[in-house]
Amino acid sequence: MAGIDDARPFVALGVAVVTVSDTRGPADDKSGDTLAARIEAAGHRVSGRAIAKDDREALRAAVSGFVADPETDVVLTTGGTGFTGRDTSPDALEPLFEKRMDGFSALFHAYSNGTIGTSTLQSRATAGVAGKTFVFVLPGSTGACRDAWDGVLAAQLDYRHRPCNFVEILPRLDEHLKRGKLKAKA
């Protein structure tokens, strides 16, 4: 049965947040703030934050920087997943993925359907593995960020979650690069 196994230790991850926007700044980045608050409330640490323009190269550079950072295990982007001309986050980031995580999009949309109904179709949320890092490409609304965290990511980024979770496979994403072991939080 799915759930938290309290016999297992909690493992804190480094999670970076990248907000994709031409108009937002640190003072009014509500979606980034929503994700950062949830990351910290769960016991993880925000390993960095950035705001990238709605530009493929700028976004790819921001995410690639966090993927290369040994303190970052997960990157969450928010914004740019829609269908307008400037919405290019999936197009910019999917080429970085060595492996796509199609199940994330399916599960996110199923959960989001319960909160916003068929409007979930307005998002091209996606995820994958880049190097040794999980990358989740989320819509820009605070509601979508809450849905993604509360409905999918909180459980999968918790080592105690059973029957399985992303944390327990994280050390094996780059076995060929000899990644260090994750440490349990005391």
What is the block-wise mean pLDDT of the chain (186 residues), using blocks of 10 residues? Answer: 91 98 91 98 98 94 97 97 94 96 97 96 96 96 97 97 95 67 54
Using left for φ > 0, alpha for ψ between -120 and 50, and beta otherwise, residue 43 falls in: left
Say how far apart CA 158 and CA 151 lie, in whole Å.
13
Q: What's the CA gap between 150 and 72, in Å, rounded?
A: 20
Separation of alpha carbons 67 and 73, rounded Å: 8
- Would you state the pLDDT for residue 178? 52
Two structure tokens written together for 183: 């440490």
pLDDT of residue 174: 74
Structure token digits, residue 154: 């909180």
Note whether 174 and 133 are within 8 A (CB).
no
Token pair for residue 81? Answer: 């997943």
For residue 77, the model assigns a pLDDT of 98
pLDDT score recorded for residue 58: 95
112 contact partners, CB below 8 Å, separation of at least 6: 120, 123, 144, 147, 151
* Token reading at 6: 């309290």
According to CATH, the topology of domain 28-170 is Molybdenum Cofactor Biosythetic Enzyme; Chain A (3.40.980)
